[in-house]
Amino acid sequence: MKISSIKVKLTLQGPILTGATNPGFLGIDTPFARTLAKELYLPGTLVKGKLRQAWRALGGLSASFPTDSWFGAPAGNATHLDQNFDPVRGRAHFSDFVDSASAGKSALRSRIKMDECRGSAADGMLQLLESPYASGERAVFEGTIYFFERDAEERAAFLDAVRLGLSAVPSFGAERGIGFGRLCSVQAEMGPGPSPGAHEAIADGAGTLGLMLSGDESLCFARRQPAENLFESAEVIPGAAIKGSVAQMMERLGGAEAFPLLWSNLSRIRIRHARPELKGVPPKLPPAIPLSIVFAGDEWKDAAPRKEPCLIGDKAPAFRSDWKSEWDTAKKYFGHCIVHKELRVRTQIDADKRRALDQNLFAYESLDPAGLEWRTALDLHYVPASQRAGICDELKTLLSYGIFGMGKTKARMDSQICNPISPRFASSTAAGPSLVIQLQTPALLGLPAEWQTARSAADVHRIYSRAWRELSSKAPLTLSHYFAEQELAGGLYLHRRFRPAGSAYQPWLLTSAGSVFVFEGSDRPEVRQLLDDWLRTGLPIAPSLREHYKLQGGDFDLWNQCPFVPENGFGELAVNLQLNWKDRLLEVDHD
């Protein structure tokens, strides 16, 4: 396949309205959707949905449109348990459609509800709409459709189908029943593919590569859901999301024939989680904020050296779960930038009634990537040294047009392969009175059966002590104390997607990023070697956990049985980061 693009211009006649989910100015009931640059836009999902609906409405002609192949098909869910839960992703990608001349444009329009008995306005029924376009005024919304084409014939067929379908849409946006958003004309022309990115020259045989990601489309990498129909995005891009998008693009753009080395070694490449930074800032990889950081007023300290609780001055320390304004101070010190978010509410449409389907409203709390760059590392240490240069070249070729299909919004991001990016704070495996290991990403630690019976701090200490002893069997580590949080990862999709058919439901139990473990110090060379290995490859999955979760095969065969493998960026750690802020350490009592 090849990537082609279609430049689309939709000319609409005012009034026009696409309601924003984010609140507008005080008193406005329905504000117009705007980008961070304050430009008015139609969501790409709206245009895509109207196009699919138009093809369906065209009746007999729709047989020539392979809609599921082009746009994707629904996978299994809670109401369709008999369907395959493997995703069926489409090959057409829609950007938002933006009116580039609309920044700063604003006006209001009011509506009322009439009291049928009195023939006058009903009490309390005044609605204020943001209506930047006057009646009869024309506006041009421009967007791009990227398409993974099989051949030139399919590209031409898709272009014709887009022109035909969009021309059959009478109007776009809200309030269409009273004349809003009437379509005047459609222009759809083939454009160039995405502009190839510029990659840095990399030394032959490099064991680690840098990767920088940026874009202009909203992103959502869902974390634990507070409600069934709300997806809140994490600010960190999981390595698994990057690797999944790379694998999908590789399969579509030629597979093993076009990328033979990458195809055979992708499961051996460790892609770490990507963290956001401001564009233009010298590249550094910020750490997860340690759970041992405490505040007392405006002052913060690191409690990692202390095994017993204490006061800071005359104040009780506040740990991360109690922070409010303290987050700003901690993020600034550890290099975490501010990421703007927006809420986009969507619904499934009943194709027959052409209205919202009951009980199918859902929302994405998405990240606005404007002005940001996500930075990460690709570790090739398990790849034969003789093949690393070839893999680097194949990655540059594959990613030269960006990465498609990122996160729940299936966003496209620009990408650049670069030389390794240094961490903001360096790890150190030098011997000392204690050894401090901090998780940078979640990791599987401890058997779920042990966690189910844990009732005290001593029980949790035993679980972690056993887990670390098993992982460090060649150079056993003795746990002194810890600062840790745990989380469950599960749900119907993960169960049906990764667990053996017919197995009982069981979520994965993870120890959260930022957790800190303090061990007794050791100057044994085997300990330093173990730590160096973990820094390069991440924490492995312990044999007891493999047995518990029934994971079969070698280290690089686990990705389709468990999503939390080190090659997906999980189990990343840092060692003795506290040496970088020694003046902030809480003193240890020696009496």
**350 pLDDT more than 60:** yes
**The two three-digit tokens of residue 256, written as one number:** 């093993």
Q: Are 422 and 210 in contact (CB under 8 A)?
A: no
Q: What is the mean pLDDT of residues 222-226?
A: 78
CA separation for the pair 278, 364 (Å, rounded): 23
CA separation for the pair 183, 585 (Å, rounded): 64
Tell me the DSSP string of 360-385: EEEEEEEE--TTEEEEEEEE-TTS-H
Percent of the chain with pLDDT over 90: 44
Q: What is the pLDDT of residues 126-141, one digit of tens each?
A: 778 888 898 999 999 9
CA separation for the pair 25, 130 (Å, rounded): 10
Task: Place 344 in a pLDDT band, splitting at 50, 70 and 90.
Answer: confident
Q: What is the pLDDT of residues 438-495, one digit of tens each?
A: 999 999 999 998 999 999 999 999 999 999 999 999 889 999 999 999 998 887 777 7
For the CA atoms of 168, 173, 179, 181, the dihedral, rounded to the nearest 10 degrees, stands at -70
Burial of 24: CB neighbours in 10 Å, binned 0-12, 13-18, 19+: middle
Provide the residue type at 297 as one letter. Answer: G
Give the model's pLDDT for residue 276: 94
CA separation for the pair 484, 487 (Å, rounded): 10
**78 pLDDT more than 70:** no
Locate all alpha helices (DSSP H) within 540-585, ordered by sequence.
543-549
Domain boundaries, the chain: 2-191, 208-286+339-418, 434-584
Give the model's pLDDT for residue 591: 41
pTM for the predicted model, two decimal places: 0.88
Q: What's the chain's average pLDDT?
A: 86
Q: Which of the residue ranges 107-121, 410-424, 534-548, 562-576 would you say has the lowest mean pLDDT?
A: 107-121
CA separation for the pair 551, 544 (Å, rounded): 10
Give the model's pLDDT for residue 64: 66
Q: Are 172 and 32 in contact (CB under 8 A)?
A: no
Task: Place 431 in a pLDDT band, splitting at 50, 70 and 90.
Answer: confident
Task: Place 315 in a pLDDT band, splitting at 50, 70 and 90.
Answer: confident
Q: What is the pLDDT of residues 168-207, one digit of tens each?
A: 999 998 888 888 899 999 999 998 766 666 777 777 777 8
Name the residue among 138, 208, 205, 160 with its Cα closest to residue 6. Answer: 160
Task: Place 80 in a pLDDT band, splitting at 50, 70 and 90.
Answer: low
Q: What is the pLDDT of residues 90-127, one digit of tens each?
A: 889 999 999 988 887 888 887 778 877 877 777 777 77
**406 pLDDT more than 70:** yes
Report in angstroms the alpha-carbon separations of 342 from 191, 217, 319, 365, 366: 30, 12, 28, 6, 5
**590 pLDDT more than 60:** no
**The two three-digit tokens of residue 547, written as one number:** 């047995």
Q: Are 10 and 144 in contact (CB under 8 A)?
A: no
Report in angstroms the alpha-carbon separations of 313 from 308, 324, 589: 15, 21, 14
Task: Place 529 in a pLDDT band, splitting at 50, 70 and 90.
Answer: very high
By three-state DSSP, how is residue 167 classified? helix
Give the model's pLDDT for residue 232: 86
Q: What is the pLDDT of residues 45-75, one digit of tens each?
A: 899 989 988 888 887 555 567 888 888 877 6
CA separation for the pair 198, 218 (Å, rounded): 23
Stretch (H or E) spanning 154: helix 152-167
In SS3 terms, 174-235 reads as CCHHHCCCEEEEEEEEEECCCCCCCCCCCCCCCCEEEEEEECCCCECCECCCCECCEEEECC
Q: What is the pLDDT of residues 14-40, one digit of tens each?
A: 898 888 777 667 677 788 888 878 889
Q: What is the mean pLDDT of residues 321-328?
A: 90
Q: What is the mean pLDDT of residues 495-517?
A: 85
Q: What is the mean pLDDT of residues 376-386?
A: 92
**209 pLDDT more than 60:** yes
Name the architecture of domain 208-286+339-418: 2-Layer Sandwich (3.30)
